[in-house]
Amino acid sequence: MHKRFQQIGLIGKHGDPMVKETLLRLYDFLIEQKREVIFEEATCRLLEGKPVSGVPDIEMARQSELVIVVGGDGTLLHAARTLASQNIPILGINLGRLGFLVDLSPDLMTSRLEEILNGHYEQEGRFLLEVSMGDESSSKQKILAFNDVVLHKWNIARMIEFETYVDELLVNDQRSDGLIVSTPTGSTAYALSGGGPLLHPSLNAIVMVPICPHTLSNRPIVVDGDSEIEIHLHPSHAEDVQITCDGQTSFPAMPGEVIRIRKAEHQVRLIHPHGYDYYSILRAKLGWSESPKNNRC
């Protein structure tokens, strides 16, 4: 049995009134369980006058032993990037669509939560990527990504030309619509849509998936998770290029820019219900459990 949780932080999907009912049910349940509840301040605004106060999300780890995220995978991605450096465990309740990360349904919320609060749960660590630009000695801010770092055009249908290096060794020189650099967690996201492989989240690996490459032999490649990836943009073919992390944070890249991507120092601690099975999640979310139809002439 694992550690029991007494102080619980709550984060809801920002600006979505649909999470209010679930948040209130969750709050009432936690109070009945005699737990201390700490709301993230933006989440408090969803409760419309409920007598609770909130703290900034960056402060939640100092006052909580567990943070519960109510929303979809996007909400958990944001929370994970914010809280990873503080080593706080995170549990997701799924009000989104697919929900590969937020794997606790609202219907089973109270029964499974009681088990989790009392120490019956599965815990895993998953790594993030950090991306930086410029010289190695540059003081530019490093941006985190839990799913993926994507190099792409943003306002014109024109290919990008760039070179990709892994641990200072040239991999290829390509022309394409961009490149997805994904963690195993992100292998079920944009990388999957781009034709990339599914990676088990326990793997220490990074996958690079080209987006619509001009050379048909340019295929996804999996490299060691401790590798450093460099993307060198061509000086004359990189106008209007963006770097996007987790589909949420974007910043421009200039012609001739060097983008460096490596594993981040801190991991995300995810909490799952007891008996969690990753392959069961894949079967449910990707429709692998459906019986094949008989096609008869």
Nearest residue to 228 (alpha-carbon basis) of 257, 264, 201: 264
The answer to the question of whether 126 is labelled as a binding residue is: no
Catalytic hit among 73, 103, 167, 173: 73
Provide the residue type at 193 as one letter. S
The answer to the question of whether 79 is labelled as a binding residue is: no
Nearest residue to 211 (alpha-carbon basis) of 169, 241, 234: 241
The answer to the question of whether 226 is labelled as a binding residue is: no
Provide the residue type at 263 as one letter. K
The answer to the question of whether 191 is labelled as a binding residue is: yes
The answer to the question of whether 25 is labelled as a binding residue is: no
The answer to the question of whether 147 is labelled as a binding residue is: yes
Q: Is 73 a catalytic residue?
A: yes
DSSP 228-286: -EEEEE-TTS-TTEEEEETTTEEEEE-TT-EEEEEEEEEEEEEEEETT--HHHHHHHHH
Asked if residues 221 and 191 have their Cβ atoms less than 8 Å apart, the reply is no
The answer to the question of whether 158 is labelled as a binding residue is: yes
Asked if residues 207 and 149 have their Cβ atoms less than 8 Å apart, the reply is no
The answer to the question of whether 73 is labelled as a binding residue is: yes
Tell me which residues are annotated as active site: 73
Q: Which residues are annotated as a binding site for NAD(+)?
A: 73-74, 78, 147-148, 158, 175, 177, 188-193, 248
